[in-house]
Amino acid sequence: MTPAIFGFLQLSLADILDILLLALIIFIIFKWIRGSSAMSIFVAIISLYIIRVVVSAFNMRLMTALMETVLDVGVLALIVIFQPEIRKFLIRLGNRYLSSARGRALADRILGRRGSNNMGTAGEAVNNLTEACRRMGEEKTGALIVITHKNPLEEIISTGDRIDAAIHRRLIMNLFFKNSPLHDGALVISGGRLAAARCTLPITEKQNIPASYGMRHKAAIGITEETDADVVVVSEETGHISFVKNGTVTPIQNINELKLLLSTALENN
C-alpha cells in the first residue's frame, strides 16, 4: 500500500527506507565535519537540495531546472571544496582496516614484511623515550614527538632535517633544548629510530579546542586526525605531558601510564 501525503506526495516502503538511509548518511557527514570550517558549506548544500526537492514536488519546472543545474555544477565544486575532508575520511577508513589484525596481516603479506623479535631493543627505546619526556616535563621543555605506524609520513619527514639515529634520551633532550636549532617543530620516530627533527605538522581545523592547548597540541591533533600516528606533547608552559591518538588528547597522570602507552605505540612502529 502506498499512502498519499498532502494529496500529491506518495510514499512506498522503499521510499521510506531511502529517506532513512539518506538521513543516516547526512548524520554521519555532520558528525564527521562538525566543528570544522566545512560545516557551513555542508548546511548550505543541504538547504539547496531541500529547495530542489520542494520545487520539484510542486512541479515548478523553471525552478527545478535551475536547481538541477546548480546542483550538477555543485558536485564538482563539492569535490574541490571538501578535498581535505574527503582525504581525511579515506585515510581514516584505510587506517581503521589496517589497524585490525586481518588488515595488518594482509598488509604485511603484500609488502613482504615479517614480524620482528627485537623486544629488547623496543623496551630500551621505550625507557629512553619515557625518561626523556619525564625530564623535559620537569624542566618545562616543550616537545612534540610523532610515532609513525602504517603511514610512513614521508611528506612530513621531508619538511624537517633527517637524523636517522637510535632513540636515546640525551639526544632527544638536546634536540628540544630551547637553544638548539632543531627544537622548533616535531621529532618523528619511524622504524624504531629518530627519523627527522624540526618537522612541520598540519594544524587541526577543530574550533572546540580548550584554550589551554597551544600550537603543539593543535599540531598533534591535526596529524593524528589525518594519519594513524601517535604523538607525545610536553607543554612548555606547564610541563604537563599529553598523549594524542586519533585526534583525542589524553593527559598523562603518571610516568607509568606514559610508559605503557609508548610501549604499545613503539611496538607498532
pLDDT, residue 175, reads 95
pLDDT, residue 34, reads 67
CA–CA dist 40, 15 (Å, integer): 28
193: cell is 629510530
Q: Tell me if residue 139 falls in helix, strand or coil.
A: coil
pLDDT, residue 117, reads 44
pLDDT, residue 118, reads 46
Q: Are 146 and 221 in contact (CB under 8 A)?
A: no
Quickly tell me which residue has 611496538 as its cell. Answer: 267
pLDDT, residue 121, reads 63
| pLDDT mean values, one per 10 residues, the chain (269 residues) | 52 83 82 66 78 85 83 72 69 58 50 47 88 95 94 90 94 93 93 94 86 92 91 95 94 94 87
pLDDT, residue 209, reads 87
Q: Are 104 and 145 in contact (CB under 8 A)?
A: no
Identify which of 200, 258, 196, 197 has the alpha carbon closest to the alpha carbon of residue 230: 258
Q: Tell me if residue 30 falls in helix, strand or coil.
A: helix
